[in-house]
């Protein structure tokens, strides 16, 4: 264990970055969303936020990137805070064992997605948040600006448009669930909200800070409570079991923390009661998780001894 992390995480982050930098092979950037294909797979940044808001970072930790599915954690928290347990009648909380954009389980499971972190489940959550707020992506943006302390956070209209014009798979998921009565809003409106949500740009520093409410067991940066302790626990549990798709078992084995990845190469992770972490590197493995990101979190928990196990 690196003793110096008790006085701050700077030392351990430097060591993680140095070790990961020596590892060959960075995976491939997502190219099914054309605007993401231009990223450099070798980019790397990592930040840790402590409960009091202090943040430590290494590499490109202040560079905004496309957050993509990382945002699914925040929409889940925002909807659960409003709706409570009724949400779980519309989306499950079991690992899917399938790719994030898979259609296959939906038919034999009656249009109820396995969990809120596969695309189908996230579409249901965004739909329900849209019904409750009239502006799901605006609610998300306001929350993230407040929690990160960065009023400049915003959506990337080019990425949203790029995804919309290549969005047949997500459109199919949404229409299919609508045919089972599990989508309330018109599908085009839902897709617009969902693609906007996915296009949010934020840095590791922003996201580490914005994730800290889960490390604080549901308490926001201003001291108010978004979620009960029990609901914060539920979200951390779903992140652990479902946050990295059909690699969630491998991620738990290597990292031992609740985590959520996105195809932009970001991963957020939570050490409940201690800190929140965000790592970014755009090169992905075949499951859609950042190669260097998982490696960095693996080294982080190994060097610090911080994990939920
Ligand atoms: N916007 C992406 C999609 O819907 C998000 C997927 C991801 O990050 N895993 O395909």
Q: What is the pLDDT of residues 231-264, one digit of tens each?
A: 999 999 999 999 998 899 999 999 999 999 999 9
pLDDT for the residue 38: 87
Is residue 199 a part of any domain in this protein? yes
Substitution site in 65, 66, 262, 285 for ligand 1 pocket (most atoms within 8 Å of beta carbon): 262
The residue nearest atom 6 of ligand 1, judged by CA position, is 69
Report the range of poorest mean pLDDT among 4-18, 95-109, 168-182, 183-197. Answer: 4-18
Closest ligand 1 atom to residue 195 Cα is 1
Cα 179 to its chain centre, rounded Å, is 28
Mean pLDDT over all residues of the chain?
95
pLDDT for the residue 70: 98
Average pLDDT over residues 162-187: 96
Closest ligand 1 atom to residue 264 Cα is 8
Long-range contacts of 229-232 (CB under 8 A, 24+ apart): 231/80, 231/81, 232/272
C-alpha dihedral over 111, 113, 119, 121, to 10 degrees? 110
**What CATH number is attached to the domain comprising 94?**
3.40.710.10
Pocket-forming residues, ligand 1, beta carbon under 6 Å: 68-69, 100-101, 119, 163, 170, 198, 262-263, 288
Closest ligand 1 atom to residue 288 Cα is 9
Substitution site in 69, 162, 194 for ligand 1 pocket (most atoms within 8 Å of beta carbon): 69
Is residue 141 a part of any domain in this protein? yes
Instruction: Decide if pLDDT at 179 tops 90.
Output: yes
Q: pLDDT band at residue 4, thresholds of 50, 70 and 90?
A: very low
Q: pLDDT band at residue 265, thresholds of 50, 70 and 90?
A: very high
Is residue 29 a part of any domain in this protein? yes
Is residue 3 a part of any domain in this protein? no
pLDDT for the residue 286: 93
Instruction: Decide if pLDDT at 6 tops 60.
Output: no
pLDDT for the residue 3: 45
Is residue 212 a part of any domain in this protein? yes
Please tell me the distance between residue 117's alpha carbon and the centre of ligand 1 in angstroms.
10
Long-range contacts of 18-26 (CB under 8 A, 24+ apart): 19/299, 20/44, 20/281, 20/292, 20/295, 20/296, 20/299, 23/292, 23/295, 25/291, 26/281, 26/283, 26/291, 26/292
CA-nearest of 144, 84, 142, 92 to 114 is 92
Instruction: Decide if pLDDT at 61 tops 80.
Output: yes
Instruction: Decide if pLDDT at 119 tops 70.
Output: yes
For the chain, how many structural domains are there in total? Answer: 1
pLDDT for the residue 261: 97
pLDDT for the residue 241: 96
Q: pLDDT band at residue 202, thresholds of 50, 70 and 90?
A: very high
pLDDT for the residue 7: 61
Of 98 and 205, which is predicted with more confidence?
Answer: 205
pLDDT for the residue 2: 46
Check: CB of residue 288 under 8 Å from CB of residue 99.
yes
Is residue 309 a part of any domain in this protein? no
How many Å apart are CA 192 and CA 29, to the nearest integer? 24
Q: Give the domain extent around 286.
A: 8-304
Is residue 2 a part of any domain in this protein? no
Q: pLDDT band at residue 95, thresholds of 50, 70 and 90?
A: very high
């Amino acid at each position: 264990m690196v003793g110096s992390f008790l006085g701050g995480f700077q030392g351990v982050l430097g060591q993680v970055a140095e070790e990961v930098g020596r590892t060959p092979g960075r995976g491939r950037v997502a190219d099914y969303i054309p605007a993401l294909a231009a990223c450099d797979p070798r980019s790397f940044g990592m930040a840790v936020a402590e409960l009091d808001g202090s943040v430590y970072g290494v590499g490109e930790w202040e560079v905004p990137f496309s957050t993509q599915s990382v945002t699914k954690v925040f929409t889940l928290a925002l909807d659960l805070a409003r709706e409570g347990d009724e949400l779980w009648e519309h989306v499950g909380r079991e690992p899917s064992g399938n790719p994030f954009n898979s259609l296959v389980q939906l038919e034999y499971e009656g249009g109820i997605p396995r969990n809120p972190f596969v695309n189908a489940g996230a579409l249901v959550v965004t739909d329900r948040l849209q019904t409750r707020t009239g502006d799901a992506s605006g609610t998300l943006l306001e929350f993230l600006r407040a929690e990160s302390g960065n009023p400049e956070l915003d959506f990337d209209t080019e990425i949203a448009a790029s995804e919309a014009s290549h969005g047949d798979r997500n459109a199919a998921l949404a229409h299919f669930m609508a045919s089972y009565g599990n989508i309330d809003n018109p599908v085009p409106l839902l897709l617009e909200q969902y693609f906007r949500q996915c296009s949010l740009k934020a840095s590791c520093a922003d996201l580490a800070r914005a994730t800290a409410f889960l490390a604080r067991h549901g308490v926001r940066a201003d001291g108010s409570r978004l979620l009960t302790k029990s609901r914060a626990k539920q979200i951390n549990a779903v992140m652990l079991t479902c946050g990295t798709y059909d690699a969630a078992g491998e991620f738990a084995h290597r990292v031992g923390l609740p985590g959520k990845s996105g195809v932009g190469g970001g991963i957020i992770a939570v050490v409940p009661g201690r800190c929140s972490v965000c790592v970014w590197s755009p090169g992905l493995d075949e499951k859609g998780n950042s190669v260097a990101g998982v490696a960095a979190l693996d080294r982080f928990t190994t060097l610090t001894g911080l994990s939920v196990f």
